[in-house]
Structure formats: C-alpha cells, structure tokens
Copies of this chain bind each other. A is one copy, B any other.
C-alpha cells in the first residue's frame, strides 16, 4: 500500500499544478509549444489550452510567443514564469518529502 496525492494552487479556479509545471518546462526546453506537446504525448490543442487558462488565472503572461518567422515561431518562458516555477518546484519538493515521511511513520 502506498500514498498518492494531487496538489495544486488555486484562487477560485485551479491555477497551477504539476502537469502545468512539466508542460512549461518542456516548452522552454523545446522552444515550442508544438514540440513540447508531441514530446509529452498530448495534443497541441490541449497544451495551448492549459497555458492560456493558467495565464488568465495568474494574471500575467507565462510565455513569450512568436508567430511566423524563420522557424515558424516559438515560445519561451517569461521571467515571471521562471520565478513562479522556481517557487512552485521548491514548494512541491518539500511537500513530497513531508508526505513520504509521514506515510512511512504511520503505515510501515
């Protein structure tokens, strides 16, 4: 038996979660929403929708996006997004460690 959980930040609606963090990181690595979606095995439609919703909720842009041009376009994280990501990942790491430890203490 093991513990599982989903955790997210919200303010009325869901704002930020692990899936979004992974998506944003992959977009930044790939330089493109499209390639990131392929790599994560999701549709571009879905990836784009997630990012758009999150941006609306957070109230600031997560991606600098370019349409057209040499490579067709592309996207990368804004500075705000990088800052937020860092805080979120730190938070997530601490939560994961805490839950793992508490589970062990109570169920093994």
Contact B91 A95 (CB under 8 A): no
Most chain B Cβ neighbours within 10 Å, of A5, A8, A102: A102
Contact A9 B2 (CB under 8 A): yes
Given contacts A87-B107, A106-B91, contact A10 B2 (CB under 8 A): yes
What's the number of copies of this chain in the assembled complex?
Answer: 2
A45 contacts which chain B residues (CB < 8 A)?
Answer: none
A5 contacts which chain B residues (CB < 8 A)?
Answer: 5-8
Q: Does A67 contact B (CB under 8 A)?
A: no
Q: Does A15 contact B (CB under 8 A)?
A: yes
Q: List 22 A-B contacts (CB under 8 A).
A: A1-B10, A1-B11, A2-B9, A2-B11, A3-B7, A3-B9, A4-B7, A4-B8, A4-B10, A5-B5, A5-B6, A5-B7, A6-B6, A7-B99, A9-B107, A87-B106, A91-B103, A94-B105, A95-B98, A95-B99, A95-B102, A98-B102
Residues of A that sit less than 8 Å from B by CB: 1-11, 14-15, 87, 90-91, 94-95, 98-99, 102-103, 105-107
